[in-house]
Chains A and B, each alone.
Chain A
Amino acid sequence: MDITFRIRRYNPEAGGKAKPYWQEFELKDVEPTNRVLEMLHRVKWEQDGTLSFRRSCSSGICGSDAMRINGRNMLACKVLVRDVVTGAKNTIQVEPILGLPVLKDLIVDMEPFFAHYREVMPYFINNDPVPANGRERLQSQEDRDIFDDTTNCILCAACTTSCPSFWANGKYVGPAAIVQAHRFIFDSRDQGWKDRLAVLSEPNGVWRCRTIYNCTPACPRHIEVTRAIGEVKLAIQRGKREGIIDPATIPSKFHG
């Protein structure tokens, strides 16, 4: 099949009044099972070498190539042409994710995103001495399951940049940072959860979430993002982390 690629371009070096613009590329002999990322490669390699975008692993693990494809945030390497081309018009529209400064073409400055990530202290905090046998801190399978879903985050920013609250207010900590906080808050071995809840109960923390649910379908890892945010809100409301997540309702997609 033939595909028309409509790409949002921006070249900061194009002189004083550089403006973003749309550019179209025609691609022939596209297989419906080709990935969108491969098609971007073809544009770059066959037609316009100046097209700029990020990608590293090309397999949905590194989280480099989140972009807005046909109006929705996705990973270009995880989405097939047939998933986004619908109807008679074989057009794929690609633009950078929204809410972060565009550096060039599809590349955005991820620094504000990572700044929010760092705010929630996304690392394990436990000041107890290590176990006497020198081995790992043990945890029951149930306790591990509670935060299993949010361990899958790859920090691609697809969720955060799908959020209208984040578009309006870049100071909002955003879904991804809350997901990362959730991963530690609900880890029974972690002792920093109260500090994280305090950080997230700031005016620009979880309360900017309006339960719009754009983030959940945007996640290429199928994390239940809005649910995680909701659980953090409840943990703040109740001042405790026990009893908020019912182990029986945990998604079982990665184990059985």
Chain B
Amino acid sequence: MLLELRKNSNFVCRKVVTVSSLVTTLTETLRYKGAIGQWSWVLHRITGLGVLFFFILHIIDTSWSVFYPELYEKAIAIYQTPLFTLGEFVLVACVVYHAFNGLRIGVLDYNPRWWRFQQRAAVWVLVATVVLLIPVFLLMLGHVIKYYGSNPTVLPLSEVLAEQLPFVIGIGAGIVAAFIFAVFAGLILGNKEKAVVGGISKGSKLERFWWSYMRMSGLLIIPLVFGHLAVMHVVQGVFDLTVAGTSIPGVTATVTQLGAGEYLGNAINDTGTAVEFVGERWNYLVLSVAIWRFYDFALLFLAGVHGFNGLRYVLTDYTAKSVLLRRTATYACIIGAVVVIGVGGAALAGTITNTSVKMAEKARIALVGEIQSHGGDEQEEATNESATEETSTESTDN
């Protein structure tokens, strides 16, 4: 009798589409009146995805400073357009919120008995984010006003968007590759799901590791990323990368006098190229250790793995119904992490020479000329063009 009822109810429930569809999950998250913790979680996911998205672009772009110096100059010119200027503010806000909220989650996860403070903590996370962002945004705004006030030559938006196309294609290719892998995995392993949870099980050591990794790596990433943002976005903005004669933060001169056609080693961006900026930093040795390379690699590795595992969390949460899609999501995250960390790591292991800087310098001059001939801006005088060959005179002052 009961069995009959069970069968009937199963028959009915299969016709109802109210459960666990992606759309329902997303809309009901907005409709359910959860407390602040629910909104913290929503923000945590959005900010995490936002940071990861920029991270992917940024690592690939930066690797060009080693592999394709000309392209890197263009990438930085793109970073100096209004779209990316706006994006930079969003990025910094995302990083700060994600960091503070991650700290809150980590502390509460390791101290479950403090759950009573979670709501207050969530409010404090918001307050701390805003409080930190006010001076940071003011400093960043200073750079923005100074830069745009000088009527700079700016790449047109259409070109900025067109330059992002390879990334879209690359991400798409990664997803297709992941899908193909998932199909093959299905052929080999089958698309049947194991028992939901339970049966005789040893448990997943891997998931246990990832849970700890997310919290521990987060703790390490926070000082690294705050330091990185402070140096690259707040103290010296992205606009300063292409101003000739600027001193490079975090680097002191290892050479006092440079020969003709040499640029690296004096802690000054003689050519006003982004490649030289990166080269000065990465070639800087303290006790014959390239400290900035290690710093950048630590951040690259920790944040890359953290970010792509976070992406896996998000994607697999919403693809539980289909083994194929869940495998695709997991493989896409693995491919993404391997490619981004691999490319970034290869760049960090590479060398930037005076030749690279010279190539970048030529590319930069060509680029500025190109933008001006496009009529990108009426201002004819390029701020950087003039500072091309007068490097040796500036190299001594510090």
Chain A residues packing against B (C-beta within 8 Å):
10, 12, 18, 20, 68, 70-72, 98-103, 109, 111, 115-116, 119-120, 162, 164-165, 167-173, 197-205, 207-208, 210-214, 216-217, 224, 226-231, 233-234, 236-237, 245-246, 249
Contacts and interface: CB of A to CB of B under 8 A. Distances in A.
A84 to B, nearest CB: 11
A233 B208 CA distance: 9
Contacts of A227: 112-113, 115
Interface of B: 6, 9-10, 12-16, 18-20, 22, 24-25, 28-29, 31-35, 37-38, 40-41, 105, 108-113, 115, 118-119, 193, 196-198, 201-205, 207-208, 210-212, 313, 317-318, 320
A198 B201 contact: yes
Contacts of B10: 109, 111
Nearest to A214: B34
Contact of B109 (A173, A201, A211): A211
B343 to A, nearest CB: 29
A119 B31 contact: no
Given A70-B33, A229-B112, A213 B118 contact: yes
Contacts of B41: 164, 210-212
A200 B208 CA distance: 10
A230 B116 CA distance: 13
Contacts of A71: 31-33
A198 B108 CA distance: 23
B189 to A, nearest CB: 15
Given A168-B320, A227-B115, A217 B28 contact: no
Contacts of A99: 19-20
20 contacts: A12-B12, A72-B32, A98-B24, A98-B32, A100-B19, A109-B9, A119-B196, A162-B32, A165-B317, A170-B320, A207-B210, A210-B41, A213-B34, A213-B119, A214-B35, A224-B115, A231-B112, A236-B203, A237-B212, A249-B113
A115 to B, nearest CB: 7
Contacts of A115: 196
A10 B15 CA distance: 12
Contact of B115 (A10, A162, A213): A213
A214 B38 contact: yes
B33 A201 contact: no
A230 B16 contact: no
A208 to B, nearest CB: 7
Contact of A205 (B9, B110, B113, B197): B197
A201 B196 contact: no
A115 B195 CA distance: 11
Contacts of A228: 112
B28 A98 contact: yes
Given A171-B320, A198-B202, A207-B210, A101 B19 contact: yes
Nearest to B196: A171
A167 B28 CA distance: 9
Contact of B34 (A70, A212, A224, A249): A212
B357 to A, nearest CB: 46
Contact of B211 (A70, A100, A207, A226): A207
A205 B35 contact: no
A207 B347 CA distance: 35
B115 A230 contact: yes
Contacts of B16: 10, 12, 101-102
B112 A234 contact: yes
A230 B112 CA distance: 5
A20 B28 CA distance: 15
Contacts of A167: 20, 24-25, 28-29
A68 B32 contact: yes
B112 A168 contact: no
Which one of A101, A224, A229 has the highest number of Cβ atoms from chain B below 10 Å of its Cβ?
A101
Given A71-B33, A203-B204, A226 B112 contact: yes
Contacts of B38: 164, 212-214
Contacts of A103: 9, 12-13
Nearest to A120: B198
B60 to A, nearest CB: 29
A171 B6 CA distance: 19
A236 B25 CA distance: 29
Given A169-B320, A227-B115, 6 more contacts: A111-B6, A119-B196, A168-B320, A205-B197, A211-B41, A236-B208
Nearest to A104: B12
Nearest to B20: A170
A216 B203 CA distance: 26
Contacts of A173: 196-197
Contacts of A70: 33
B17 to A, nearest CB: 9
Nearest to A107: B9
A46 to B, nearest CB: 28
B12 to A, nearest CB: 5
A20 B18 contact: yes
B31 A202 contact: no
B105 A202 contact: no
Nearest to B319: A169
A226 B32 contact: no
A233 to B, nearest CB: 7
